[in-house]
Structure 1
């Protein structure tokens, strides 16, 4: 959830909202109901099918645009999308409209190629220490000369405005671990034909100067936060402006991150501007305009114009809010012209085309995918509501239908992207939706008042606190762990979705749907792998160690990285998502080699998130806070702790894993010299993992010849000595290392490895290294 701020990807968890609902609310507003009294879920569910059933031309055009972009990306589904567009036109007895699909294909392909051809204006400064001045929006720094955008790492603790920062400019990184955040792809997706894509990252960012926002957005922000406590102020900036920079730093009293709580409760979409904001704010504006003597045409026209101001001046362009504004704008213009409400599928297709032509890489953005999947699912809300008991209030039926459908519609993307599914999304959304229905319009009014917004915030504060309380309660509920969904899983999901749609349309009975879901679920649980994994995975955790040993009957994690002098949780943010993406649901053994932050800090989070059979340690230090925390988590989770010694071994699937170190007596008081070292042997193939052992201890192990050596201490000059290399003669050596100030790997070590004829694999260059075990 993953990116990472997700202004897209890494943030939205479920239930992005619809923007096509504005027109349906007008009757309620005219009958005296205020926008505050209409729950957001009801607004979202107001997308109903229009009688007629003919395929809108915009659907064929949108399919072509999507297919053209996929063609440019080399995606395997591009031909299928194009064929679907032409087939749909033929099925609708209008084969000539299939030309629109071909036109869309050419337009989408040309748009993508045009964006990809844009020059990198920051290329001359890549690798240099630079000082930059630009406008900071909480996510990216926009420069005026050259016209470019830059990501900052770490993000400065500064509110949006004008900044002067310094650091080293480097290129963005791709996906370094399975299921990890692809920074380079995310940054590319932030650009478009008229907006430069960020091409650089300023690392080691130091803030030199800052000035507050002077625009309408700055005025609006001052009204949002006037008189509010820090947590409530951060929340209002997130739900009104989509600025999640401050909420990401906020925690509940026991250190539980607020943003994590939103994701675990299935409420992260509340912080992603979308159709919910557009519907509530538009409803408020139209309700206020209804008090004037303006005609309906003028009122709808003004509402449409104000939506554009809201997008381009106040909140800025991003996938979900742009989609919602386009749909709301189109509905209001159609009503102003007396054309009635547009066909919902055609409207969604129009919004997709209008988004993708200027921003073709939005197609790869998780926020874009979630937004459109949710609104597509919401088109069936009325049908599902009709199947619920009629004695229930229609508002409740629509709210339930909208919540369930939006969660089901986005399920595969959420599960595959974020590695877990919230189990309490339905009740959490129903409760939070009612609060949001009042909070969003009130917050909008407070923002419009600027510094005077403190008066309105007397009511906003308690409501924001109530929403945070709901998030905290539901955020502590268990979640369902998941992993990446393959083609077979997608096919099973599509089959279940088709059965559900046919049931809503009255084509099949409920038992057929239930049987389909049960059959697909059972099939997904069967062990289809004909060749279970036999590999060693050296995870890229930056400057640290994390190695996964996978055999059919043994799964062992050796260390889980850590981040020195940083609050970034490598275990939770990097290691656990990687394990889930590789389909690891439990660990038989977790090994803490020694009490160094960059080795064992992340293991505490691993134990919290995954079942672990046993924890192995070497030296039990009673005065080390990190090891003490790890042992405390193990006790809390009921994980047995075993102090291993030289000669301990475990056998599984024709492989033998032997503990090489520490010995049975106290060897040293130094952490590194007591590292747990392991030997893995399978059919004559041998590999050794040496923790942070120094060279004199390495030489005393008597290893013998190796195929693969996991270099000790990240390539420190005090390890991987000439004596060890002479003994082992490894054909390949893996060095787990990241950006650091220690000089790892040391040039002397690299030279010794070259002289020994050993090929070197570095995680800072190759990312995660996966090695098969014969």
Structure 2
């Protein structure tokens, strides 16, 4: 019966009579498609960015409010503003955390605490510090000596911002590491006991060192041991995984949680357990897995929280919850506890990959129907995860894998068996060998996939600017519109190609013209790049350390600068701090020619031998340079000033390659470690810029050279050292000559534009 006009309505599709309240509820259900945690998460991101003083902080706040208003739910806009306040407050509280280690900065100390493979947690005071170099010993109780210093920021393009990373590793419940113990020497080590110690022994039982290192990385996320492993070709296992697009396999993430919980759910189902047990038991075990075994890193924390929410929903019969809502709720929880995870690359990659996976079903539906469904889903998931993380990988690592799709398709089934088996071996502890007979061939197969695909070329990419991120965002929106059926494929492709062209054109229209003096610590590495010539002079090195400066510092810097090949590499002389890093450079980038000053007999100098071996492996011609040799590129001319034709001395420094760079009125001289009196004989003429020889040693940059060259500026490449470089005598001589000093230990990398 109709009591008032319009109070009831007949629905011809369902046959139901809808009352006015029912219609209003239906309208709200249709309008309320926005998951409420999304504006909250956007607000929290904006609040953290606001506290950190980031210029884009207002964007997520406004976006969250706008989405709420467009969804006709203004209360969600208030939630976005509340999230902004919570994010700001969380970041503010972390910034006010007391620095308990401050009184000992700069001092030689002996510390006692628990080493977890990443940080040393001190017994007293309650604080955490990083160790450099990382101990070769595994996690456990340690006594370690060294000097406490403040961490460095990013001092080189594409380099590691240690200070920012350490800040991101603390939170409201965990102290932030505020110092680094350098030249760390372990005095005492007691291997880790308890669950983690038991588990680690099971992972390595009866396995080769390389397979054991891989399993420790795959199951516990500890990559210290695998980072020291190399393949026969000379490149590291970690590099191979990265070049093959498989680096995520050694970072604990949703894949581990999905495989382990999936295996347990299948086993409980096979045993006939009820849904409350089948889903409730894995959900209950996840917090113990996170807190007692693997630790709270960004990617695994995200995976555990998301997995726990999904399992609880299945346990109570709510079915599959809204995936975007779970992602937003998980991000909110993570960022409120660890606000600076927002700037952590692992956090960004983890959430971007998941957001990409949310659309994998849409892409799978567009693939040919005759293909198997599992293959379509695997292809779609891999492609979208790689596309979603593309800008972060390109920006932070300077290269993009080209073989990630086939490598992941081969690695996925191996991981599906390897992760549960490895976990079982860990649970068995010393008896893990009962399972590791099956783990060993699977681990070897995974290493073979990484080695095979890791030898493939990669696409070099420079650091992205704001324009690059904007271009990617426009292309991503167009791609999402196509997947959701709101943008035609031709239009989406046109937008994507236009964005790619716009991001590629600026570098072509205004190619770089500069000298770049890379901050490689106590060493030398100078890059000259002009149209037609890219030359690297020396590649740094670490005397008495196993840190690979070429792989860890120089190559990332070159990639960040957009260098995809080197026409000439110069090894000035056979000192470790100048040429040790060139071996990795020669293996990591195409090189046209290697210049050396004085060749030695094989076996006379192992560092030079390693560089020459790398050149032979890559078929790089080796040229012995003499005074007068030169190379030109347009108006730029590089001339060798030293060594002369005859052997001047048997000392390495006396035979350093010295170069003069000329570009119109600009003149610069790069002198290696050339000492006085040899430097006074090279005759470089008047100079705009002099790169001081031998890091400011008192034996170089003499008065005669300064009077001859009359430089306006002097560059000293130097780092922390015990030699007293640069000496006060050299600084006084430069000041007397009226030149300005630039030091890499004070200002970091120096980029000197050419006319």
Fold similarity call, TM over 0.5: yes
Is contact 2:397–2:559 with CA below 8 Å preserved after alignment? no
How far apart are the structure 1 equivalents of 2:437 and 2:567?
A: 53
Per-residue CA deviation, residues 252-280 of structure 1 (Å, 9 max, x unaligned), is 34543222221111111111111111111
Report the counterpart of residue 728 of structure 1 in structure 2: 709
Counterpart among 531, 537, 551 of residue 516 in structure 2: 537
1:320 aligned to 2:299? yes
1:424 aligned to 2:403? yes
How far apart are the structure 1 equivalents of 2:684 and 2:250?
A: 55
How far apart are the structure 2 equivalents of 1:584 and 1:253?
A: 26
What is the Cα deviation at residue 746 of structure 1?
Answer: 2.3
1:767 aligned to 2:748? yes
Report the counterpart of residue 74 of structure 2 in structure 1: 95
Q: Give secondary structure in 2 for the equivalent of 1:578.
A: helix
1:489 aligned to 2:471? no
How far apart are the structure 2 equivalents of 1:250 and 1:368?
A: 26
Counterpart among 255, 261, 273 of residue 240 in structure 2: 261
What is the Cα deviation at residue 373 of structure 1?
Answer: 0.3
Report the counterpart of residue 14 of structure 2 in structure 1: none
Give me the CA root mean square deviation: 2.2
How far apart are the structure 1 equivalents of 2:229 and 2:614?
A: 23
Task: Give the number of the structure with larger relative contact order, counting CA–CA contacts within 8 Å between residues 6 or more apart.
Answer: 1
Q: Give secondary structure in 2 for the equivalent of 1:142.
A: strand
Counterpart among 353, 362, 372 of residue 351 in structure 2: 372
Of residues 70-79 and 174-183 in structure 1, the stretch that sits farther from structure 2 once superposed is 70-79
How far apart are the structure 1 equivalents of 2:272 and 2:576?
A: 68
What is the Cα deviation at residue 695 of structure 1?
Answer: 1.3
Counterpart among 65, 72, 76 of residue 86 in structure 1: 65
Is contact 2:592–2:621 with CA below 8 Å preserved after alignment? yes
Per-residue CA deviation, residues 72-91 of structure 1 (Å, 9 max, x unaligned), is 22222212222111111111
Of residues 358-367 and 245-254 in structure 1, the stretch that sits farther from structure 2 once superposed is 245-254
How far apart are the structure 1 equivalents of 2:529 and 2:718?
A: 21
How far apart are the structure 2 equivalents of 1:627 and 1:453?
A: 44
Of residues 726-735 and 117-126 in structure 1, the stretch that sits farther from structure 2 once superposed is 726-735
What is the Cα deviation at residue 531 of structure 1?
Answer: 4.5
What is the Cα deviation at residue 327 of structure 1?
Answer: 0.5
Is contact 2:254–2:303 with CA below 8 Å preserved after alignment? yes
How far apart are the structure 1 equivalents of 2:405 and 2:568?
A: 36
1:673 aligned to 2:654? yes
Residues 521 and 94 (structure 1 numbering): CA distance in 2 closer, same or farther, change over 3 Å? same
1:693 aligned to 2:674? yes
Q: Give secondary structure in 1 for the equivalent of 2:570.
A: strand
How far apart are the structure 2 equivalents of 1:251 and 1:631?
A: 19
Report the counterpart of residue 176 of structure 1 in structure 2: 155
How far apart are the structure 2 equivalents of 1:161 and 1:154?
A: 16
Per-residue CA deviation, residues 427-458 of structure 1 (Å, 9 max, x unaligned), is 11111110111111122222222223221222
Counterpart among 456, 470, 495 of residue 516 in structure 1: 495
How far apart are the structure 2 equivalents of 1:608 and 1:228?
A: 29
How far apart are the structure 2 equivalents of 1:248 and 1:287?
A: 34
How far apart are the structure 2 equivalents of 1:115 and 1:380?
A: 35
How far apart are the structure 1 equivalents of 2:671 and 2:428?
A: 63
Report the counterpart of residue 26 of structure 1 in structure 2: none
How far apart are the structure 2 equivalents of 1:430 and 1:531?
A: 40
Q: Give secondary structure in 1 for the equivalent of 2:337.
A: coil
Counterpart among 184, 206, 210 of residue 185 in structure 2: 206
Counterpart among 196, 200, 209 of residue 230 in structure 1: 209
Per-residue CA deviation, residues 122-159 of structure 1 (Å, 9 max, x unaligned), is 11111111111111111111113111111111111111
1:439 aligned to 2:418? yes
Counterpart among 82, 87, 91 of residue 108 in structure 1: 87
Of residues 494-503 and 100-109 in structure 1, the stretch that sits farther from structure 2 once superposed is 494-503
Counterpart among 338, 361, 386 of residue 407 in structure 1: 386
Of residues 320-329 and 560-569 in structure 1, the stretch that sits farther from structure 2 once superposed is 560-569
Counterpart among 708, 716, 719 of residue 700 in structure 2: 719
1:343 aligned to 2:322? yes
Per-residue CA deviation, residues 529-571 of structure 1 (Å, 9 max, x unaligned), is 6554332211111121111123334332211112233333222
Report the counterpart of residue 568 of structure 1 in structure 2: 547
1:247 aligned to 2:239? no
Residues 728 and 580 (structure 1 numbering): CA distance in 2 closer, same or farther, change over 3 Å? same
What is the Cα deviation at residue 651 of structure 1?
Answer: 4.6
Report the counterpart of residue 557 of structure 1 in structure 2: 536
Q: TM-score, normalising length from structure 2? A: 0.92
How far apart are the structure 1 equivalents of 2:347 and 2:179?
A: 23
Counterpart among 431, 436, 456 of residue 457 in structure 1: 436
Number of matched pairs: 725
Q: Give secondary structure in 1 for the equivalent of 2:474.
A: helix
Q: Give secondary structure in 1 for the equivalent of 2:224.
A: coil
Extract unaligned runs of 5+ from structure 1: 1-49
What is the Cα deviation at residue 604 of structure 1?
Answer: 3.2
What is the Cα deviation at residue 405 of structure 1?
Answer: 1.0
Please identify runs of 4+ aligned residues in structure 1 that moved more than 6 A.
50-53
Report the counterpart of residue 571 of structure 2 in structure 1: 592
Alignment of 1:493-508 (within 5 A): 493-508=472-487
How far apart are the structure 2 equivalents of 1:700 and 1:204?
A: 39
Report the counterpart of residue 734 of structure 2 in structure 1: 753
1:355 aligned to 2:334? yes
1:130 aligned to 2:109? yes
Of residues 121-130 and 250-259 in structure 1, the stretch that sits farther from structure 2 once superposed is 250-259
1:164 aligned to 2:143? yes
What is the Cα deviation at residue 508 of structure 1?
Answer: 2.9
What is the Cα deviation at residue 61 of structure 1?
Answer: 0.2
How far apart are the structure 2 equivalents of 1:628 and 1:144?
A: 46
How far apart are the structure 2 equivalents of 1:109 and 1:90?
A: 23
Is contact 2:108–2:147 with CA below 8 Å preserved after alignment? yes
Q: Give secondary structure in 1 for the equivalent of 2:106.
A: coil
How far apart are the structure 2 equivalents of 1:724 and 1:619?
A: 23
Of residues 442-451 and 643-652 in structure 1, the stretch that sits farther from structure 2 once superposed is 643-652
What is the Cα deviation at residue 760 of structure 1?
Answer: 2.2
Residues 614 and 247 (structure 1 numbering): CA distance in 2 closer, same or farther, change over 3 Å? closer
Residues 578 and 137 (structure 1 numbering): CA distance in 2 closer, same or farther, change over 3 Å? same
How far apart are the structure 2 equivalents of 1:659 and 1:292?
A: 77
Residues 656 and 222 (structure 1 numbering): CA distance in 2 closer, same or farther, change over 3 Å? closer
Q: Give secondary structure in 2 for the equivalent of 1:686.
A: strand
